[in-house]
Structure 1
Amino acid sequence: MHFDLWDGNVFVANGPHGRQFEGVIDGERTFWGDPLAEFVSTSLFKDPRKAIDVNAGYAAVTGAPPDFGDDGMLRLSLYRSYLDLIMLIEGAPRGYGGPEHAGVRALATYDLNRQVRTAARFVG
């Protein structure tokens, strides 16, 4: 899993048959794991069930739609918590700070709290 897929990390170029995939950069968050984890960054702070194009692409490649049942939603909440923690922690070593980073910290903190509550509902 790349775990940091967004427009800025994907290269697309014009080719002889239209636009084509060229490459992906910025793989420091990459890990071998659950394909469902990729939905966290492709729908950052949004409901991945509503990412129609991403879900259709996933189904076209895997032959099945993504698992958004209770087990899948629990896993997504845990992966989202993980990304929220990364976003909160990485500011220090990357030198982020001040008011320009305060919004990201506030959003990641809010989402982390929400994801922990969501995960708790699934585990009882």
Structure 2
Amino acid sequence: MAEFVGLDPLGSAEDDPDLMAGYRSLAPGTVIDASARVRLALYRVYLALVMRVESVPRAYGGEFAARLDTWSAWRVTRQLAVVDALEA
């Protein structure tokens, strides 16, 4: 599941039918069910937090750093809502 997040870190690669057809041609057992979507959301949370933390040693500043902080907070919140909805 982490591969899908890496393929499209800002989107949702698992919803691309052509990509999934190609992926399943090599890994036919790949299923995107509720459990997989929870894992995908948690991988997205992880990636957003890594991106935010890495902004410090990379010395991002100004408007870019502010946008990254805002985006990462939004991304974490949104993905945790996905987890919550899927586990309800």
**Range into which the TM-score falls when normalised by the shorter chain:** 0.7 to 0.9
The answer for the alignment partner of 2:45 in structure 1 is 81
TM-score under structure 1 normalisation?
0.62
CA drift of 1:55 comes to 1.4
CA drift of 1:67 comes to 2.2
TM-score under structure 2 normalisation?
0.83
1 or 2 for the larger relative contact order (CA 8 Å, sep ≥6)? 2
Moved more, 113-122 or 99-108: 99-108
Give the number of the structure whose residues are more often helix, by fraction: 2
Identical amino acids, percent of aligned pairs: 30
CA drift of 1:116 comes to 1.0
Q: Point out where structure 2 has 5 or more consecutive residues left out of the alignment.
A: none
Please list the CA deviations of residues 39-90 of structure 1 after superposition, one character each: whole Å capped at 9, or x if unmatched.
11212232333323431221111123x3221101111111111011101111
Amino acid at match of 1:60: S
**Structure 1 residue 123 corresponds to structure 2 residue 87:** yes
**Structure 1 residue 62 corresponds to structure 2 residue 21:** no
